[in-house]
Structure 1
């Protein structure tokens, strides 16, 4: 795939952190790879506002609205406009990396089929 970058994670769990582009509020999601899908374990947002209202099942813990997961998707697509003041922080395997901070094509996070990149 031309221009593609692949990141292989040793462990199935990863965390995405970012700041909401309008409300300037922190958001955290914990994901796990489950076979050929990504499963949201839980999500937390520090506050509420435009497009980020906590779900009905969210509980307030130490200033964060925490919602249980359950959502399963084949892939995550993260837009990278370069206009939001930052990208996402992807943490896995004890290391954190910033992704999608500069304008570019959307980023796709997905499990690899049979250990190979798709």
Structure 2
């Protein structure tokens, strides 16, 4: 595996579970959206493990729907997307659906 997009609910806080999953997948790059929760935990894991990061921040001044645009960029840039999802977060659901629509493998970790 190469580029792993990590997305998820801002309420996700289980750093141990995230580390377990990411260590098993062994990405060479972690892609995220720079948000609290799963994104920031993945960025921390990557730094601690010497893994390259690529962070897509929402560009509020350029796009009417900056979070959807950012989430599409994340899905397009990855080889595999993993979502730490509470079953309710609409942003995470949007990203899961978009990644599937463009043919990216998606793994969902429910919490």
**Does the TM-score normalized on the shorter chain lie above 0.5?**
no
Q: Counting helix residues as a fraction of each chain, which structure ranks higher?
A: 2
Larger Rg over CA atoms = 1
Q: Give 1 or 2: higher strand fraction.
A: 1
TM-score with structure 1 length normalisation?
Answer: 0.27
Q: Which has the higher contact order (CA 8 A, sep 6+)?
A: 2
